[in-house]
Every structure is written in C-alpha cells, then in structure tokens.
Amino acid sequence: MKPLTIFRITLTAALLTSCATIDRPHLSSFEPIGASEFRFKARADAMVYREDTTDGEEERMRWLQQYLTDNGICPTGYDIVSRRVVIVAERLMGRINDIFYTGRCRT
C-alpha cells in the first residue's frame, strides 16, 4: 500500500472517531456525587443524538464512559438508576431535550 493511501485511511479514521470527543464537552456535563454516584446531563435534538434512538443513546453512553474513564470513577462499571428527559425547546425540525441521568458505581 502506498504511504499516501495509508495516511488518508489513518486521517479518515481519526476524523470519524473525533466527533464524539468534540461534541461531548459542548453537549454534556458530569457531576460526581459522593464516592459512588454521579449525575450526567446530555443534550439531544431531532437532528443529532436523538433522545429516542439507539444510536443517540449509545453516543451519550460513550460520552459518559469517557468522563468516568478520564476521572478514574467506577472502574468496575456502573448502573444508570434514573433517566429523565426534559424538553428545552420546540423547533420547526423537532424538539431539543436535555436528558438527566443518575448513576451508581458497582462495587
């Protein structure tokens, strides 16, 4: 394989995986509660990261896992104990929601 082709493949893979890293700080927040619980808030809208789709939920869970990994929280896993969707705005293209999660670390 030519070096330019390898470079293009590597660059494409890096760009595709960087989307979650770019969106996470702007569309979510994380708050530890004591030693074993946390709150996580993530934005969902009708266009990207929809609140009612598997793809949207999987992306939000990737964001959450990144917060946990970055901070060394819940190394043996976690359980989501509550999930609440709150409408932020109604737009022509659909709703914008905030999703609030409460989680508990497994022991």
pTM of the model: 0.76
Residue 56 CA: distances (Å) to CA of 28, 67, 74: 13, 17, 22
- Asked if residue 41 lies in contact with residue 88, where contact means CB atoms within 8 angstroms, the answer is no
pLDDT at 97: 93
pLDDT tens-digit series, residues 17-74? 444 445 556 789 999 999 999 999 999 988 878 888 899 999 999 999 999 999 999 9
Picking from 32-36, 57-61, 83-87, 91-95, which range would have the lowest pLDDT averaged per residue? Answer: 91-95
- Asked if residue 20 lies in contact with residue 63, where contact means CB atoms within 8 angstroms, the answer is yes
pLDDT at 16: 38
